Amino acid sequence: PPLDSLINLYDFEYLASQILTKQAWGYYSSAADDEVTYRENHAAYHRIFFKPRILINVKECDLSTTMLGTKMDLPFYVSATALCKLGNPSEGEKDIARGCGMGEFNLTQMISTLASCSLKEIVEAKVNDKQTQWFQLYVNADRKITDNLIKNVEELGLKAIFVTVDAPSLGRREKDMKIKFDPSKTPEITNEDKSHKKQQNTRGASKALSTFIDPSLTWNDVIDIKKKTKLPVVIKGVQCTADILKAAEIGVDGVVLSNHGGRQLDFSRAPIEVLAEAMPILKEKGLDKKLEVYIDGGVRRGTDVLKALCLGAKGVGLGRPFLYANSCYGKDGVNRLKEMLADEIEMNMRLLGVTKISDLKPEYLDMISLHAR
Ligand code: FMN
């Protein structure tokens, strides 16, 4: 169908379910076990309501904000997803870079360690020099590989490192497991060694990728990474207040509240619930100024983004929606999805009676039902 006949993020998902290969759909859409957390990530947003203000001049509305010291046009970003070539075989992550830089707004792209284009290719695919890219780091058991990656990331001008910590082993993703992993049909991972290519006959792409990740990672490794780079370091995959406080203590620049889109521990709580619990505590301790809090998982509407921002998130990440848009329409799909979400955010900000991101506050929310799971 023509791209302009799609009107929301769910339309991309439905189309992807119809046209992607079984392997791509299985890997992209799957989540852990019974997928309870996957559903809850989005469902939790449905238990928060707004308290809009009236009779405010909302003619001019500004979506720009700052993340990790960089000015951003939009308060959301593309979160890291492995293997973008499964759905967009020729262009993969490069088309995400292009779509992010097209049109009125630049969007930030977080690039996965398990990307299927080389980091250099993805950086060179940017279409204007105001675009920001971040790097998502899986720490390899061989720390030399990790050190080289970090050096490469700095040289190529990426703006931050997000260390993923919620995947000491990969969750049980049964949709993906049902499809036998065929190395010859799977795009190369270009940033790392090629050990997954030797993995014959494993069940699913996830299982094959898991060889990259060091399960012995601890807080000390993150402290080491922080020492090794001048770039901001953010811990991705934090799931409770105690760990946010610990992250602040070791001096990282931020955390992403995330359960990996429900792909890891099933029955992890929705990140929006963790955010609602943690922010008042961080504010009370004055740590909200020291540490930026990001969130991802289940974000599918402009109103989801607004709720997270009201609760104090600095930025909101989306994974699958961009994979689907990129798989169905390449860079144009990525750009369209970005515009759709920007439009939804802008329109709903007006209806809420707010004209800039920094004015979004918990006072605009009714949280009474959040815990009524
Ligand atoms: N997170 C990482 O930190 N590194 C990855 O390589 C990575 N690959 C992913 C691959 C797929 C197919 C999906 C769906 C998610 C992946 N994630 C990865 C998690 C995303 O960064 C993000 O946390 C999650 O997708 C957010 O949930 P959403 O898909 O509901 O937006």
347 CB-near residues (< 8 Å, 6+ apart):
302
331 lines ligand 1 (CB under 6 A): no
Question: From CA 107, how far away is CA 127, in angstroms rounded?
Answer: 11
49-50 and 365-366 strand pairing = antiparallel
322 lines ligand 1 (CB under 6 A): no
Residue with tokens 């949709």: 175
Substitution candidate for ligand 1 out of 260, 264, 323, 337 with most atoms within 8 A of CB:
260
Q: How far is the CA of 163 from the centre of ligand 1 (A)?
A: 13
CA distance from start to end of the chain: 37
pLDDT value at position 184? 65
27 lines ligand 1 (CB under 6 A): yes
Q: How far is the CA of 82 from the centre of ligand 1 (A)?
A: 7
213 CB-near residues (< 8 Å, 6+ apart):
138, 139, 140, 167, 168, 169, 170
Q: How far is the CA of 348 from the centre of ligand 1 (A)?
A: 26
170 lines ligand 1 (CB under 6 A): no
Cα torsion 313, 349, 99, 231 to 10°: value is -30
Ligand 1: residue whose CA is nearest its atom 18: 81
Give the up-direction half-sphere exposure of residue 171: CA atoms within 13 A in the CB hemisphere.
Answer: 25
300 lines ligand 1 (CB under 6 A): no
Residue with tokens 């929301």: 8
* Helix (DSSP H) and strand (DSSP E) numbers for the chain: 13, 12
- Quote the tokens at residue 119: 């980091």
86 lines ligand 1 (CB under 6 A): no
359 CB-near residues (< 8 Å, 6+ apart):
none
**Which phi and psi angles does 152 have, rounded to 5°?**
-60, -45
Question: From CA 104, how far away is CA 119, in angstroms rounded?
Answer: 25
87 lines ligand 1 (CB under 6 A): no
99 CB-near residues (< 8 Å, 6+ apart):
107, 325, 326, 330, 331, 332, 333, 334, 335, 337, 338
- Quote the tokens at residue 241: 């207040």
326 lines ligand 1 (CB under 6 A): no
- Atom of ligand 1 lying closest to residue 110 CA: 21
Question: From CA 80, how far away is CA 308, in angstroms rounded?
Answer: 19
Which helix or strand (DSSP H or E) is residue 234 part of? Answer: strand 233-238
- 3-class SS at 162? strand
79 lines ligand 1 (CB under 6 A): yes
Question: From CA 97, how far away is CA 21, in angstroms rounded?
Answer: 23
pLDDT tens track, the chain, 373 positions: 999 999 999 999 999 999 999 999 999 999 999 999 999 999 999 999 999 999 999 999 999 999 999 999 999 999 999 999 999 999 999 999 999 999 999 999 999 999 999 999 999 999 999 999 999 999 998 999 999 999 999 999 999 999 999 887 777 787 777 776 666 666 766 665 444 444 445 566 666 666 678 888 999 999 999 999 999 999 999 999 999 999 999 999 999 999 999 999 999 999 999 999 999 999 999 999 999 999 999 999 999 999 999 999 999 999 999 999 999 999 999 999 999 999 999 999 999 999 999 999 999 999 999 998 8
pLDDT value at position 211? 65
pLDDT value at position 195? 45
Which helix or strand (DSSP H or E) is residue 293 part of? Answer: strand 292-296
pLDDT value at position 174? 76
- The answer to whether residue 196 is catalytic is no
- 3-class SS at 212? helix
| CB of 35 closer than 8 Å to CB of 174 | no
Question: From CA 114, how far away is CA 121, in angstroms rounded?
Answer: 14
Ligand 1: residue whose CA is nearest its atom 16: 81
Q: Is the ipTM of this complex over 0.90?
A: yes
Q: How far is the CA of 323 from the centre of ligand 1 (A)?
A: 10
Bridge partners (DSSP) of residue 365 are 50
Residue with tokens 């963790």: 274
- Annotate 176-199 with DSSP letters as a single string: HHTSB--GGGSPPPSSS--GGGG-
pLDDT value at position 56? 95
Substitution candidate for ligand 1 out of 20, 189, 263 with most atoms within 8 A of CB:
263
Among candidate residues 42, 46, 196, 260, the one labeled active-site is: 260
Burial track 280-312 (b if 16+ CB lie within 10 A, e otherwise): eebeeeebbeebbbbbbbbbbbbbbbbbbbbbb
Ligand 1: residue whose CA is nearest its atom 24: 261
Residue with tokens 């190395």: 183
337 lines ligand 1 (CB under 6 A): no
Q: What is the pTM of this model?
A: 0.93
For the stretch 251-270, pLDDT in tens is: 999 999 999 999 999 999 99
pLDDT value at position 359? 98
Residues in the chain: 373
Question: From CA 172, how far away is CA 243, in angstroms rounded?
Answer: 24
Q: How far is the CA of 79 from the centre of ligand 1 (A)?
A: 6
**Computed over its alpha carbons, how large is the radius of gyration of the chain?**
19
Ligand 1: residue whose CA is nearest its atom 2: 80
Bridge partners (DSSP) of residue 255 are 235, 293
- Quote the tokens at residue 276: 């609602």
